[in-house]
Structure 1
Amino acid sequence: MNREHRGPNEKLGALLGVAGISNAGLARRVNDLGAQRGLTLRYDKTSVARWVTKGMVPQGAAPHLIAAAIAGKLGRPVPLHEIGLADADPAPEVGLAFPRDVSEAVKSATDLWRLDLGGRRGPGGAGIWQTLAGSFAVSAYVTPASRWLITPADATVARDAPAPGMAHVGHTDVTKLREAAEDARRWDSKYGGGDWRSGMVPECLRVEAAPLLLGSYSDDVGRALFGATAELTRLAGWMAFDTGQQEAAQRYYIQALRLARAAADVPLGGYVLASMSLQATYRNFADEGVDLAQAALERNRGLATARTMSFFHLVEARAHAKAGEAAACGASLAAAEGLLERAREGDADPSWLGFYSYDRLAADAAECYRDLKIPRQVQRFTEQALARPTEEFVRSHGLRLVVSAVAELESGNLDACCAAGVKAVEVANRISSVRTTEYVRDLLHRLEPYNDEPRVLELRERARPLLAAPA
């Protein structure tokens, strides 16, 4: 259904021209994006003509899908006001800003947290992230990364005279948030980002963290508070990333980086940038992935521990591998390994780095060589990564099994490939991770030339319930 708008929508018409999208092309893109969200839309070129020439405003999710369709072509975010649809009951376009002012940063973060659990629903009961999904644009990371590099810490974050009803914040309040973050990390690794417990992180941000940020606190307590909320916000982004909600993940990451800047926690800011890099690389923006990883490294030289710098180099290697840069990847892996060997038990490593060990380095090295199409090296590093499977990192174990299966297939070992694939499917069925499911789907795609083989048929049958489950 459409409603009247005053005059032609010149903004939409002009941007369609810039993007090189025809009326029929936009209608098709909007219908396709809607279908990905379970919506049945039947727009055509006449519908688009009405939007442009008569100023008709489509209702429901359509304005957001139009913005997402154009954003996908332009490679950057497209807010509703840029296409003349800002009054179309928009979802607040929050989370993409990186304010210079601390008070504005608090507002930007808390607005995002409220959006996630604010009860706004799209057509058919779809959550707001399902409406926005598909509008991820790696260019949205440019300003946050640049501002963080220029000024990685605010001068002061002390806050006086809170709003009525807001409490004075102490270190005990911060400790509770850090404990919540630690619990969330364990649940995420063991059960996946889509487990029902993962919803506790956005709720914690909205119900527990937001009132604290709006309270009063000294500079010392404030720094710790911003650090704890940055950790939780990054975790929310990581869980969204694991469940395929790339737009939500991007907004969480940007706010996590801004909060880390308020905390004056440069290593944590680097960790957020590393998370952004992994997302960019996963989305096939390898060059931007390299830039983000190198931003993490650059600001942390002489500040972060050897183990922390090792992880940042490992993330850099992942991006180089995706870009097909074998020499640069090898240099980054060597740097990561050398720094990890220098790490000592008594180093002041941050608590959020507890997952990182040689097993993780070997697992990511295997993925690097998978992208570089060197199966012998993939097998070598995967064997090391799988040598000590633990119940603590179930999702990681499943991903490693899929990488191992791909390496066996590329080496001509179909039996070993299917055996590893079966184990991977067993793990994937125990967790809620869209990313793990996509790894399995990719493996099955690679196995299509062998579809007549009984072992492959058995693997496909085992994977069928997993692939049929709703995301």
Structure 2
Amino acid sequence: MSQLAHEAGLTTAHTHTSVANRCRRGMVPDWPVPKLLGWAIGERLGRTVQLAEIGMADAQMNGSFSDDVGRELFSVTAELSRLAGWTAFDVGQHDAAQRHFIQALRLARAGGDIELGCYVLTTMAMQTLLRGFASEAIDMTQGAFERAKAGAAPRVLAFTKLIEARAHARDNNARAASAALAASESLLDQVRDGAGEPTWIDFCHHAGLSADAAEIFRDLKNPKAALAWNAQAAAMQSGVFTRPVGMRLAIVVTAHLQDRDLDHGLELGNQAIDVLARVQSTRALDYVREFNAALAPWRRETAVREFLNRTRTELGMAA
């Protein structure tokens, strides 16, 4: 490494021993050591090695700026990494999503952004939940809340409690789900206009909570409560929020089927297919699978067979 630094005309205050000690402790050495490590590893592998591959992407954010500007840069980059992770998750690229989420957490921590760190960890909990690991998602949301409750805005904490409620519902714990949902609603009641909350959490509001509550009670197999909450949710135009509308329709379809209302379920189910046929989302197809499963008692009926055929031909669902 010292030879590479000399050849590149760079200077570093680190010895090889201090670099090794920092890496063992999970610390990123001062610039330009990360670049030199990337070069050294790249020479051994015979290819270019990006700093993100060796967990040192944070080190690229070097330069002359104030502490406040530096923290803002870390936060902005963290949110971009979180968004990249969510996009990867939505199309079923789970390993890539986790790499982006972990990087987002590192950047949020480097910037001292407690709120964004809470949001990123909650987003990771959502991925964990939707992959079928409800108890792990509960632990993650509760950990995110505990770390951030003293300094995060009410809306940020409300989102974390909302995802905790969804996780409890998937775990079939109605009491815990209802308690977390009530806590989320109470936190949203504390939100005040002009309170300086992060813009990236603007989507979390009472109408949005109602849509999530419909999913919570669908998972708890309480269709009447699910449909009542859905009636309170904000209406969304399919041309504007195509994927969310399709997924919400799928949730309502399942609730109607749980309520033994086949005709209404098929009517809305066909609307959901019309919407979701326009998007590519692995996550959205999971919602379709759920209402397809709820059709099991009526599988022999002609209308149901025709509907299931639509999901196969237009959405590529397996038989």
* TM bucket normalised to smaller: 0.7 to 0.9
Aligned equivalent of 1:322: 170
State how 1:209-224 maps to structure 2 within 5 Å: 213-218=60-65, 219-224=67-72
1:350 to 194, 198, 204: 198
Cα 1:102–1:396 change in 2 (3 A) is farther
What are the Cα deviations for residues 118-159 of structure 1, in whole angstroms up to 9, with x where unaligned?
Answer: xx9xxxxxxxxxxxxxxxxxxxxxxxxxxxxxxxxxxxxxxx
Shift of 1:433: 0.8
Aligned equivalent of 1:101: 28
Asked if the contact 2:58/2:107 (under 8 Å) is kept, the reply is: no
Q: Distance in 2 between matches of 1:324 and 1:411?
A: 18
Structure 2 length normalisation: TM-score?
Answer: 0.78
Aligned equivalent of 2:114: 266
Shift of 1:465: 3.0
Shift of 1:463: 2.0
Asked if the contact 1:382/1:403 (under 8 Å) is kept, the reply is: no
Residues paired across the two proteins, number: 276
Asked if the contact 1:306/1:343 (under 8 Å) is kept, the reply is: yes
Higher relative contact order (CA closer than 8 Å, sequence separation 6+): 1
State yes or no: 1:293 paired with 2:141.
yes
Aligned equivalent of 1:378: 226
State yes or no: 1:235 paired with 2:83.
yes
Q: State the Cα RMSD in Å.
A: 2.9
Structure 1 length normalisation: TM-score?
Answer: 0.54
Structure 1 residues not aligned, in runs of 5+: 1-96, 112-119, 121-204
Shift of 1:310: 1.0
Asked if the contact 1:398/1:424 (under 8 Å) is kept, the reply is: yes
Aligned equivalent of 2:188: 340
Q: Distance in 1 between matches of 2:75 and 2:291?
A: 39
State how 1:269-280 maps to structure 2 within 5 Å: 269-280=117-128
State yes or no: 1:407 paired with 2:223.
no
Aligned equivalent of 1:48: none
Moved more, 220-229 or 383-392: 383-392
Q: Distance in 2 between matches of 1:450 and 1:234?
A: 41
Cα 1:369–1:102 change in 2 (3 A) is farther
Q: Distance in 1 between matches of 2:241 and 2:91?
A: 17
Aligned equivalent of 2:291: 443
Moved more, 385-394 or 456-465: 385-394
Q: Distance in 1 between matches of 2:25 and 2:249?
A: 38
Question: What secondary structure, in the 3-state scheme, does the structure 1 residue paired with 2:135 have?
Answer: helix
Asked if the contact 1:409/1:417 (under 8 Å) is kept, the reply is: yes
Identity in percent: 43
State how 1:353-432 maps to structure 2 within 5 Å: 353-385=201-233, 387-389=235-237, 391-432=239-280
Structure 2 residues not aligned, in runs of 5+: 1-23, 39-46
Cα 1:430–1:332 change in 2 (3 A) is same
Q: Distance in 2 between matches of 1:217 and 1:295?
A: 35
Cα 1:232–1:414 change in 2 (3 A) is same
